[in-house]
């Protein structure tokens, strides 16, 4: 196999390293600080957050200002919840897997091969059933503002993975989700829960030998440069629940809250549609750097599906069979 690894310099040349959107907040303006673990530029979540900040800073100038900090510069996803409750940050968009301390239901998104593609996911996220999931974080003091989309996950490794059993004996970095752990266990692999900011170092040092993520996360964090291939499995969906502390929203005047929510909803609607395209661009960036991308035949893909079927037996009661049925029903013909 011909695997050429890119240099960090090449990555830096192709995508500027922007980690922040800073606003010059004036006295008297209400400040919204958003903390992200991902890149800001060239990433679906970062681009959506930047667009929202730009709108807030233009259209609500003098009353509200918004800053976005990316790449875990402020917090990791496990400590951002407390930072929000402490009033240090007013907005975050952790992936669904990061909410297991508050609800088991969002782990449904981690079920392998539940979503066919990002369009299917967006159709479900627009449904009444999905919108109700936003309420799951209310008892913990958060308002679920809405969903931001990333895309489908791929699996990268130091080994070339054509079938799930090729991963036997390897250790994969996972998000804090029992469902994801069960998925890798079905492959005969072990797992290690690590914050997103620790993944590159763990792959580079060999602490873990693989991970799963979207093209945009893999490319913007250089994971592909320390792996020997990426299997285009498209096996699960990565999306985010955007959360804000209820106490912060309650402290705003009604007009200001409504204006902010309207800008949030408009930006969400417009930018979620770009998430697929952004991931396809990052996929091409990876291919352009001559990293091995392993495309699966239909027969091979069926082996992956069959391998992961037992995960449903384990978790359909935990996440709720009704929710799984609702996702399947949301598939447009």
Task: By CB under 6 A, name the binding residues for ligand LMR.
Answer: 37-38, 95, 150, 175, 196, 213, 217, 238
Return the number of the residue (38 or 186) whose C-beta is nearest ligand LMR: 38
Nearer of residues 107 and 213 to ligand LMR, judged by Cβ: 213
Q: How far is the CB of 176 from ligand LMR (least distance, A)?
A: 9
In this complex, which beta carbon is closest to ligand LMR, that of residue 114 or of residue 242? 242
CB nearer to ligand LMR: give 57 or 72. Answer: 72
Q: Which is closer to ligand LMR, CB of 65 or CB of 80?
A: 80
> Of 66 and 199, which CB lies nearer to ligand LMR in the complex structure?
199
Beta carbon of residue 290, minimum distance to ligand LMR (angstroms, whole number): 24
How far apart are the C-alpha atoms of 191 and 174, rounded to whole Å? 6
Residue of this chain nearest to ligand LMR (CB atom)? 95
Phi, psi (deg, nearest 5) at residue 126: -80, -10
Measured from the CB of residue 76, what is the shortest distance to ligand LMR in angstroms? 9
CB of residue 51 vs ligand LMR: minimum separation in angstroms?
17
Closer residue to ligand LMR, CB minimum distance, 98 or 161: 98
Closest contact distance (angstroms) between CB of 129 and ligand LMR is 23
Q: Read off φ and ψ for residue 21, nearest 5 degrees.
A: -120, 105
Alpha carbon distance 106, 313 (integer Å) = 17
Query: Measured from the CB of residue 152, what is the shortest distance to ligand LMR in angstroms?
Result: 13
CB 110 within 8 A of CB 97: yes
Shortest Å, Cβ 150 to ligand LMR: 6
Tell me the closest approach of the beta carbon of residue 296 to ligand LMR, in angstroms: 22
Compute how many other C-beta atoms are within 10 angstroms of the C-beta atom of residue 20. 16
Pick 19 or 316: Cβ nearer ligand LMR: 19
Spell 113-130 as b/e; 16+ CB within 10 A means b: bbbbebebbbbbbeeeeb
Tokens linked to 325: 């049925």
């Amino acid at each position: 196999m011909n695997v050429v690894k890119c240099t960090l310099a090449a990555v830096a040349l192709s995508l500027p390293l922007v980690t922040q959107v800073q606003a010059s907040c004036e006295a008297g303006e209400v400040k919204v600080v958003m903390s992200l673990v991902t890149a800001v530029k060239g990433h679906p979540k970062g681009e959506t957050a930047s667009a929202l900040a730009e709108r807030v800073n233009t259209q609500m100038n003098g009353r509200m200002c918004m800053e976005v900090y990316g790449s875990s510069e402020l917090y990791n996803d496990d400590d951002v919840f407390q930072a929000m409750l402490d009033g240090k940050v007013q907005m975050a968009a952790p992936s669904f897997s990061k909410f297991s301390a508050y609800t088991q239901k969002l782990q449904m998104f981690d079920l392998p091969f539940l979503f066919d593609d990002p369009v299917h996911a967006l159709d479900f996220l627009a449904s009444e059933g999905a919108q109700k999931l936003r309420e799951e974080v209310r008892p913990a003091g958060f308002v679920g503002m809405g969903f931001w989309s990333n895309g489908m996950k791929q699996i990268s490794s130091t080994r070339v993975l054509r079938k799930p059993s090729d991963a036997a004996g390897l250790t994969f970095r996972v998000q804090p989700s029992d469902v994801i752990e069960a998925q890798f266990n079905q492959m005969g692999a072990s797992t290690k829960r690590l914050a997103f900011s620790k993944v590159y170092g763990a792959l580079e040092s060999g602490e873990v030998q693989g991970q799963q993520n979207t093209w945009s996360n893999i490319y913007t964090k250089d994971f592909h440069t320390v792996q020997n291939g990426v299997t285009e499995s498209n096996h699960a969906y990565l999306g985010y629940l955007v959360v804000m502390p209820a106490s912060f929203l309650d402290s705003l005047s009604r007009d200001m809250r409504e204006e902010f929510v309207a800008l949030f909803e408009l930006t969400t609607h417009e930018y979620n549609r770009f998430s697929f395209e952004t991931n396809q661009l990052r996929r091409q960036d990876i291919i352009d750097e001559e990293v091995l991308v392993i495309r699966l035949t239909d027969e091979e893909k069926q082996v992956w599906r069959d391998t992961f079927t037992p995960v449903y037996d384990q978790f359909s009661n935990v996440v709720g069979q009704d929710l799984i049925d609702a996702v399947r029903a949301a598939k447009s013909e």
